[in-house]
């Protein structure tokens, strides 16, 4: 198996992913993203000028598992049987909206 194939089939750290957007949450001022007990990444402290963008990036990263699940649900409905597609599609769209809200910080 090539490295590309291996990384495409390997599962990501399960969600939900959480963050410490409060720069005082860590002694060094960094924000970290965790999936359960696993540290996904640590982001450095940014200046006040760049902090809003950094916070938006953190929210987007934390929403990644939800966004993937929502997209997979939409594709599954699209490729599935049509007899229940409308109800399943509505549920999938609701999941997509929730993931978008999480990424935008609107929970």
| Residue 24: predicted pLDDT | 45
Q: Are 40 and 17 in contact (CB under 8 A)?
A: yes
Per-residue pLDDT tens digits of the chain, which is 107 residues long: 344 545 556 688 888 888 876 544 555 667 788 888 888 888 776 667 777 787 788 888 888 898 888 888 888 877 777 767 777 778 888 888 888 888 888 86
pLDDT at 28: 60
Per-residue confidence (pLDDT) for residue 56, from 0 to 100: 83
Whole-number pLDDT of residue 21: 60
């Amino acid at each position: 198996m090539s490295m590309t194939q291996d990384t495409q089939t390997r599962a990501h750290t399960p969600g939900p992913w959480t963050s410490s957007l409060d720069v005082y949450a860590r002694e060094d001022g960094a924000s970290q993203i965790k999936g359960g007990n696993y540290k996904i990444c640590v982001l450095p402290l940014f200046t006040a000028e760049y902090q809003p963008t950094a916070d938006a990036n953190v929210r987007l990263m934390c929403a990644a598992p939800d966004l993937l699940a929502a997209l997979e649900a939409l594709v599954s409905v699209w490729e599935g049987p049509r007899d229940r597609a409308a109800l399943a599609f509505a549920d999938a769209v609701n999941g997509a909206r929730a993931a978008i809200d999480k990424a935008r910080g609107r929970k």
